[in-house]
Amino acid sequence: MTAVRPRLGHISFLNSYPLLWSLRRTGILPGVALHIDTPDRLSDDLVAGRLDMGPITVAEYLRHSEDLLLLPGLAIGCDGPVLSCNIVSKVPLRDLHERPVGLGTTSRTTVLLAQLLLEERLGVRPRYTSCAPTLPAMMRHADAGVLIGDVALRTYLDGPRLGLDVHDTGALWKEWTGHPMVFAVWAVRREYAERRPGAVDELARGLRLARAHSEAHLDAVARDATMLGTTVAPHQAADYFRHLSFNLTARHLDGMRAFARLVGERGAVPVHQPFSFLEAARPVGSDV
């Protein structure tokens, strides 16, 4: 009997293109059923069991960690500026007290991070509103907005010309805490790892191989990405990719723990439990 292909999620934003570029070149994709979507929808699909493995926002991982195992060595984060997770504002951030701030609907982790930065670091209490994840929608209804992904990167590049202040949340987090920031991790559903350990182990190794391959070819990735219709130039894409951290290092885990503690204290996620990784929890057995 032929085994059903693993259902693998992949983020549709430019920040994930390096991994997809290398997956296509390392022979992994024919063995999986790939589903590409926005990070919020992929997170919901993984939690609901519509995906077996894939990226999940750190906020949703913390809310559902009992059902998930982290894949070692895979993440989307930064150690300083990230360029594509931003607070965009018409006024100085300290002037946002009791003023409207739009929260983009595709973001789960960055909106929590922005609230931490505004409230805990700067001491302002804005009035938050959920907004479509576009700059015009946010600036029409609010004095500031939280944007992620390609639209946030474009705003980072165009902000000064538009007369807007663009505040990089990765840079603000690093200045505040000294830690790297992790926005998304890769995880597998615990029950799927128990049921098909061999397939999961093979795919996890393949993903790490693709990550290392892409990191060694970022200029080529950037040239290919800009041929697909992205609005950034090749040198801008290459610079962007080099600001990102695709590995989940010990330092990045420390940053995740710090973020988990702070948002847990606010009641936004459950009180943090130790992170569970695939190798630590996968049972011995054969694929079925």
pLDDT digits (tens, 9 = 90+) for 46-65: 999 999 999 999 999 999 99
Considering the four listed CATH numbers 3.40.50.180, 3.40.190.10, 1.10.260.40, 3.30.1330.60, the one that applies to the domain covering 85-177 is: 3.40.190.10
CA distance 150 to 148: 7
Strands 165-168 and 127-131, how do they pair?
unpaired
Mean pLDDT, the chain, as a whole number?
92
Residue 102: beta bridge partners?
129, 145
Q: Calculate the dihedral angle through the C-alpha atoms of 149, 108, 135, 146, rounding to the nearest 10 degrees.
A: -110
- 212-253, pLDDT tens digit by residue? 999 999 999 999 998 776 779 999 999 999 999 999 999 999
Give Dmax over CA atoms of the chain in angstroms. Answer: 63
- Say which CATH superfamily domain 7-78+181-281 falls into: Periplasmic binding protein-like II (3.40.190.10)
In tens, the pLDDT along 62-105 reads: 999 999 999 999 999 999 999 999 999 999 999 999 999 999 99
Q: What is the domain partition of the chain in residue ranges?
A: 7-78+181-281, 85-177
pLDDT at position 2: 52
Confidence of residue 282 (pLDDT cuts 50, 70, 90): very low
| Fold agreement between 7-78+181-281 and 85-177 | yes
Nearest CA among 197, 202, 187 for reference residue 67: 187
Beta bridge partners of 146: 87, 103
